[in-house]
């Protein structure tokens, strides 16, 4: 509730009525006193004047009291509205501060996680990402002979089993080097002692050409090296280690 114009008008009207009633009472009393001094009889009309003035004074007092109560009520509600608005502003400020703090914490956490992932990726890139594959023996070629029957011949490099050994790295990685390893599947030889060079023949097997890259996903790619194996006796392991930087 606000202190509106009608309340102002009521207060002004009540004040004017009270002032008028008091003036009329004073005039009536003075007139009555003069008439009494002169010894003149007092008429009903003269006696009615103070009564009307008192009645008007009571009405004005009632209107003024009501207006004053409304005025005080409006002040109280005005204070409550101001307090409520101030409280809502403080709550909004606290909520905004909490939101900013939560966002800052989330950003900080994302930065820490990103830094950790980058550190792990860098360390993994220095150590190298490995991939290996087991290649089975090739199938013997047959030479047809109608009299002696079919005979089996050894495998040749043209009929070798060819595979691609691929290691997954981040899409933003730059390959520094690709280390090549090969050994028989049942061998206990350490990988560090099985290092070979591209094109080097190791037990009827070799890595071919140079490594190549191919897309794997939005955040990763594959680094591959071709491998050929033409031994018909036992399987062989082929392994690559890709070292890279981001």
Q: For residue 206, what is the domain's CATH number?
A: 2.60.40
pLDDT attached to residue 232: 81
Whether residue 143 is found in the same domain as residue 190: yes
The per-residue pLDDT for 3 is 47
What pLDDT does residue 77 have?
A: 72
Residue 47 has φ and ψ, to the nearest 5°, of -70, -25
Query: Do residue 91 and residue 147 come from a single domain?
Result: no
How far is CA 186 from each of CA 190, 201, 234, rounded to the nearest angstrom? 12, 19, 9
Report pLDDT for 242. 93
CA dihedral angle for residue 215, residue 220, residue 226, residue 227, rounded to 10 degrees: -150
Dump pLDDT digits (tens) for 66-89: 777 777 677 667 677 777 888 888
Of residues 218 and 55, more confidence is placed in 218
pLDDT in tens, 204-215: 899 988 899 998
Res. 193: pLDDT tops 70: yes
Among candidate residues 174, 178, 169, the one with its CA nearest the CA of residue 246: 174
Number of C-beta neighbours around residue 121 at 10 A: 18
- Stretch 201-227: mean pLDDT, rounded? 89
Query: Are 136 and 227 in a shared domain?
Result: yes
- At residue 181, the pLDDT reads 95
Q: Which residues are CB-contacts of 244 (< 8 A; sequence separation ≥ 6)?
A: 125, 129, 169, 170, 173, 174, 175, 176, 223
Structural domain contains residue 241 = yes
Q: Decide if 111 is inside a domain.
A: no
Residues 143 and 191 in one domain: yes
Q: HSE (CB half, 13 Å, CA atoms) of 24?
A: 18
Residue 207 β-bridge partners:
227
Whether 223 is in a domain gets the answer yes
Closest CA to 231 of 145, 144, 156: 156
Total domains in the fold of the chain: 2
Going across the sheet that includes 236-245, the strands are 129-135, 236-245, 174-184, 195-196
Backbone angles phi, psi at 175, to 5 degrees: -70, 125
134 falls in which pLDDT band (50, 70, 90)? very high
Residue 171 lies in a domain: yes
Tens digits of residue pLDDT in 88-109? 888 888 888 888 988 898 888 8
Q: Is position 115 within any domain?
A: no
The answer to whether position 107 is within a domain reads: no
Judge whether 116 lies within some domain. no
Query: According to the model, what pLDDT value does residue 146 have?
Result: 44
Nearest alpha-carbon partner for 7 in 75, 59, 55: 75
Its domain, for residue 16, covers: 5-102
Give the model's pLDDT for residue 126. Answer: 86
pTM: 0.51
| Domain match, 88 and 147 both | no
What is the rounded CA–CA span in Å between residue 21 and residue 58? 9
Question: Over 70: is that where the pLDDT of 129 sits?
Answer: yes
Q: What are the residues whose beta carbons fall under 8 Å from the beta carbon of 4, sequence distance 6 or more? A: 74
In the predicted model, what is the mean pLDDT of residues 168-174? 89
Distance CA 62, CA 57 (A): 9
The answer on pLDDT for 161 being more than 60 is yes
- Residue 44 domain-assigned (yes or no): yes
Res. 9 pLDDT band, cuts 50 70 90: low
């Amino acid at each position: 509730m606000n202190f509106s114009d009608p309340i102002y008008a009521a207060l002004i009207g009540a004040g004017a009525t009270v002032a008028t009633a008091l003036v009329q009472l004073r005039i009536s009393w003075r007139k009555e006193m003069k008439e009494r001094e002169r010894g003149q009889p007092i008429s009903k009309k003269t006696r009615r004047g103070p009564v009307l003035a008192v009645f008007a004074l009571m009405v004005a007092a009632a209107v003024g009291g009501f207006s004053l109560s409304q005025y005080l009520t409006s002040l109280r509600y005005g204070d409550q509205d101001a307090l409520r608005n101030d409280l809502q502003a403080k709550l909004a400020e606290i909520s905004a501060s909490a939101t900013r703090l939560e966002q800052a914490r989330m950003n900080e956490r994302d930065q820490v996680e990103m830094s950790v992932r980058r550190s792990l990726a860098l360390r993994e890139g220095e150590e190298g990402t490995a991939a290996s594959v087991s290649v089975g023996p090739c199938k013997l070629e047959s030479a047809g002979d109608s009299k002696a029957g079919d005979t089996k011949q050894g495998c040749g490099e043209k009929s070798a089993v060819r595979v691609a050994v691929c290691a997954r790295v981040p899409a933003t990685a730059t390959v520094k080097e690709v280390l090549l390893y090969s050994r028989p599947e049942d061998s206990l030889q350490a990988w560090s002692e099985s290092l070979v060079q591209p094109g080097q023949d190791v037990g009827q097997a070799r890595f071919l050409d140079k490594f190549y890259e191919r897309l794997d996903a939005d955040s990763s790619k594959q680094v591959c090296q071709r491998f050929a194996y033409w031994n018909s006796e036992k399987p062989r392991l082929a392994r690559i280690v890709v070292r890279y930087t981001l």
